[in-house]
């Protein structure tokens, strides 16, 4: 198990769903709780989290506060990678 993921009480990585403006699921990933302060050279602000995106469902979704590391849509990170995402647009998997 990687040390950067948000770990559920059961000891397994806790997944998060990334939501778009309409609260539709556009990707799935895990929150980086160990190294969450900086992402692509930018400080992660209150109300935001650093997320490792594992799978993209809607690649046409614009990156929050993009571009981030030259990425403008989720298609640009479809193979996995880190992004800053709004806390209000994350839903934790149970």
Q: Provide the pairing of β-strand 25-31 with 15-19.
A: antiparallel
Separation between Cα atoms, residue 46 and residue 66, nearest integer Å:
17
- Say what the pTM is: 0.82
Separation between Cα atoms, residue 24 and residue 6, nearest integer Å:
22
Split the chain (94 residues) into runs of 10 and give each run's mean pLDDT. Answer: 43 83 96 81 91 95 88 91 94 86
Separation between Cα atoms, residue 2 and residue 74, nearest integer Å:
23
Q: What is the pLDDT of residue 36?
A: 62
Q: What is the pLDDT of residue 12?
A: 62
Separation between Cα atoms, residue 15 and residue 19, nearest integer Å:
13
Q: What is the pLDDT of residue 5?
A: 45
Q: What is the pLDDT of residue 6?
A: 45
């Amino acid at each position: 198990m990687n040390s950067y993921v948000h770990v559920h009480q059961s000891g397994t990585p806790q997944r998060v769903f990334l939501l778009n403006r309409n609260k539709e699921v556009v990707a799935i990933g895990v929150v980086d709780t160990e190294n969450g302060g900086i992402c692509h050279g930018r400080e992660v602000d209150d109300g935001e989290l650093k997320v490792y995106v594992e799978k993209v469902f809607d690649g046409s979704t614009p990156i929050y506060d993009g571009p981030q590391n030259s990425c403008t849509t989720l298609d640009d990170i479809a193979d996995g990678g880190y992004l800053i995402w709004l806390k209000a647009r994350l839903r934790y998997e149970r």
